[in-house]
Amino acid sequence: MLKQTPSQTVGPYFAYALTPQPYGRVGLGSGTMVDPDTRGERIRIEGRVFDGTGAPVVDAVIELWQANAAGRYRHPADTRDQLELDPHFTGFGRTGTDGQGLYWFDTVKPGALGDGQAPHVNVTVLARGMLSHAFTRLYFHDEAGANAEDALLQSVPADRRATLVARRAETAGGVAYRFDIHLQGDDETVFFDA
């Protein structure tokens, strides 16, 4: 007689199915969202994922969904034909955290959407022990004027907004934005319903 599969919140093949590259398989997304012909300012988004005690989460999966440098999403619902689509940019990336809870994405800085929203990146976090994935946004520190006009960001209490803003740094490899994600605790990142 077959025995019952051990119970797990997310399932025994979480990383293997969602981030299969370390296992020699091709995934739906990776941390590299650009190719040599992608238009726009190249940036790296990097950070660490922490649990409520401040320990790194070493097996989280981070997904990004963003507009291209012109401010347009590669999605049928984005019908703003006046904004150019970039055939070399899908706007989607997925990667897992490493042994120190670190993740990174090589992408382009998104353009403003033209509807009052500041340039931003949509972020989804999945991790062992979480029954549902968590949604947040990454805003850019050097877009202070646009951030001040963004209705969603302004709806967040002022003392919590910093958890949504990535800091720019000039590195040897180029421009990097640091965005740490805290799943719980005093520095918990602001998460949204969807």
d(CA 75, CA 139): 21
pLDDT of residue 108: 98
| Inter-CA distances, 93 with 31, 65, 97, 104, 120, Å | 6, 7, 13, 10, 14
CA dist 11 and 189 (Å) reads 25
Q: For residues 58 and 157, what is the distance between their CA atoms, to the nearest angstrom?
A: 30
Phi-psi sector, 52: left (phi>0), alpha (psi -120 to 50), beta: alpha
Beta-sheet strands, E only, within the chain: 42-50, 61-66, 92-96, 102-108, 120-126, 134-140, 165-171, 174-178, 181-182
With CA atoms as reference, report the closest residue to 178 among 191, 159, 165.
165
Question: What are the extents of the domains in the chain?
Answer: 31-182
Least confident interval from 19-23, 47-51, 135-139, 149-153: 19-23
Cα–Cα distance for residue pair 29/91, rounded to 1 Å: 10
Answer with the residue of higher pLDDT: 64 or 10. 64
pLDDT in tens, 144-176: 999 999 999 999 999 999 999 999 999 999 999
Asked whether the predicted pLDDT for residue 40 surpasses 50, the reply is yes
Tell me the whole-structure pTM to 2 decimals.
Answer: 0.87
Q: Which of 141, 180, 175 has its CA nearest to residue 44? A: 175
Secondary-structure class of domain 31-182 per CATH: mainly beta
Maximum C-alpha span of the chain: 65
By three-state DSSP, how is residue 123 classified? strand
The DSSP bridge partners found for residue 106 are 32, 44
Stretch 169-191: mean pLDDT, rounded? 96
Q: Which of 24, 31, 25, 106 is nearest to 61 (CA)?
A: 31
pLDDT in tens, 55-111: 999 989 999 999 999 999 999 999 999 999 999 999 999 999 999 999 999 999 999
